[in-house]
Each structure stands twice: as structure tokens, then as C-alpha cells.
Structure 1
């Protein structure tokens, strides 16, 4: 990645992100060097992204595995007939965090294609302004039956939900 892009990521603020979530670190999250293990960041990204997809885009991970699940039955609309597959991930580390830190995560969409989306997650330590980590991944939306990229693109309600996450970061002079 170009140094210019890294410097821009280092200047991210909470205002650069549309959706926010809090995560309380656990002792178990630390690695042997007493900071958050790299794998935990992937879990944090997955959690905030899937919270948005479930709550705002009509995704229902329970509907195709168990038709009687109470969460599926509570939905008023049928479940999404597409599935999102991660095809790329990235993470840029700027400062360490560790248990017992409370983290504030921010989510935005940086690129929305016909059948793909690139998410960005900013990780902030509660009470501190400097971003600690910026990362995310790319989803490609597949037709669930054919297991191929959806020819018509992602479903309308998914696209509508993801469009609400589109936000350019503030320019820093």
C-alpha cells in the first residue's frame, strides 16, 4: 500500500464511520506479547459487518440452516437468496490495544460494486482519538443455488443497506 494511503488511514476519526459498536476486550483476547491477538481483529471486523448485514440488509444466517429458528420466524420478509463470500482482507496496525481496553469500532463502505463491497473498520480505544487499527474485507455476493456471482448483482435491500454505509473520510489539511 502506498505511504499516502497509510497516512490517510492514520488520520481516520470516528466521524469517518457511519455505524459504531463497542467491544469490551477479554483476557483471552491477548496474545503472549500482552496485546490483542491478530485473529481477534478479524473476529471484530466480522462481527460489526455481520451485525449490519443482519439488522440493516435482511441477511438471516439462520433461515437456511433451521427454518424453525425463532429469529428467522420473527422476520417479516423472506431471507436473502444470496450469500456473501469474503475474497480479500486487510489490516493496518498503528498502535497496540490489550485487555482490559474497551474498544469503539466504526464501519463504513469504501467501494460498492454490482456484486461486491469493500468494508473498512476503524478500531479506537475508548477515550482516545487516535485510530489504532484500520482494516476490513471484500465480500462478493453469490447466488446461493449456483454458488457464482449474482448476475443481476446483489439484492436491492442488501444494496440499499450497504449504500447507507458509503462515506468518504473527512479531508485533513
Structure 2
């Protein structure tokens, strides 16, 4: 039996998401039932969220080279490496229709909740050119200090928060 939450997610449209990435499915993305393997969805979650964290939040894992907690490191490129990383602590997915190779997918991203040290993302999977969502997934990152793997008393870094706020669902929007 579908829950009210699941039925609400099934109504998602492209306009409910603030950032998109295209993904060309690959032959080996299919499972033996000729639809996208569930593990591929997790890769899509990780790819779009980490793209946003790198481009908009300054959390570029490849620019980090400072072993001292509490001090962001600068690189020769001028980028700032984050002293924090996001650990996934929960995931959930609601499937509404199948996708498979050779579908071209459009993956949408938004932030449903933002706390002092965590973010709950929502990812919507759409077939290119179609308005109806095929899958909606949510997952939560908790931001911890890279060196100690513990939450900072100050919460997440300010640049990260500012980037996440760009995708935060506005008051009164459907969660």
C-alpha cells in the first residue's frame, strides 16, 4: 500500500528540482530483468550530490592537502579544500516506473532539510523529454571533520551551508 509520502513523491515534476545532470545509461547498467539495476541509482545519487558539493560548496576532495583540522587548505588553483566530509547515514528510494539502457536520464537534485551538521537530499530520476518522475530517492549526509570523523561543535563549514541553501526547498513547497 502506497503511503501519503510516496504518493506525494510520485507527483514530482522537473520544476521541483533546482539542479540537473544528464546520464546516458549503459548496457551494463541493466540487470537480468532488463531494467536499471538498483545499485546504479546509488551511483546517480552520489554523482549529482558530489558534483554540487564540489562546484557549489567548496568540498573538492582532490584539493585537500592540509592535515590540520579546523583550517581550510588553499591550493595553487585557488580552490579551497574542505576540512569536512559528508558521511551517508541513511538512504531511501521510491520507484514508480522502470528505466533501462539505452534511456537518457535527467537527474534532479534538491535539499529537503538542512540542519547544523547534516543535509537531506532528494534526487528525482526522469527520462529525457518526459515530465513524470520515475524514481525519487532521499539520503542524508552528516558532515564530520575529516581528521577525527566527528561532528564539529560549530556544525558544517559556512561555504558548504551557503551552497546547500541554494537548493533548499522553500517554506510551503511539497516535501
**What is the rounded CA distance, in whole Å, between the counterparts of 2:23 and 2:76 in structure 1?**
27
Partner of 2:114: 112
CA deviations on 1:26-54 (whole Å, 9 max, x unpaired) are 00100000000000000001000000000
Partner of 1:152: 154
Once the two structures are TM-superposed, the CA of residue 171 in structure 1 deviates from its matched residue by 6.2
Residue 136 of structure 2 is aligned with which of 134, 137, 157?
Answer: 134
Higher relative contact order (CA 8 A, sep 6+): 1
The number of residues matched between the two structures is 167
Once the two structures are TM-superposed, the CA of residue 63 in structure 1 deviates from its matched residue by 2.8
Structure 2: stretches of 5+ with no match in the other structure = 67-73
**What is the rounded CA distance, in whole Å, between the counterparts of 1:46 and 1:112 in structure 2?**
18
The 3-state SS of whatever aligns with 1:35 is coil
Distance 1:60 1:7, change over 3 A: same
**What is the rounded CA distance, in whole Å, between the counterparts of 2:76 and 2:91 in structure 1?**
32
**Contact 2:91–2:138, Cα closer than 8 Å, also in 1:** yes
The 3-state SS of whatever aligns with 2:80 is coil
1:74-85 correspondence runs (5 A): 75-85=77-87
Partner of 2:54: 54
Once the two structures are TM-superposed, the CA of residue 78 in structure 1 deviates from its matched residue by 2.7
The 3-state SS of whatever aligns with 2:101 is coil
> How much is the aligned-residue C-alpha RMSD, in angstroms?
2.2
1:69-108 correspondence runs (5 A): 73=75, 75-108=77-110
**What is the rounded CA distance, in whole Å, between the counterparts of 1:169 and 1:107 in structure 2?**
17
Once the two structures are TM-superposed, the CA of residue 2 in structure 1 deviates from its matched residue by 7.1
Once the two structures are TM-superposed, the CA of residue 83 in structure 1 deviates from its matched residue by 1.1
**Contact 2:65–2:81, Cα closer than 8 Å, also in 1:** no
Structure 1: stretches of 5+ with no match in the other structure = 67-71
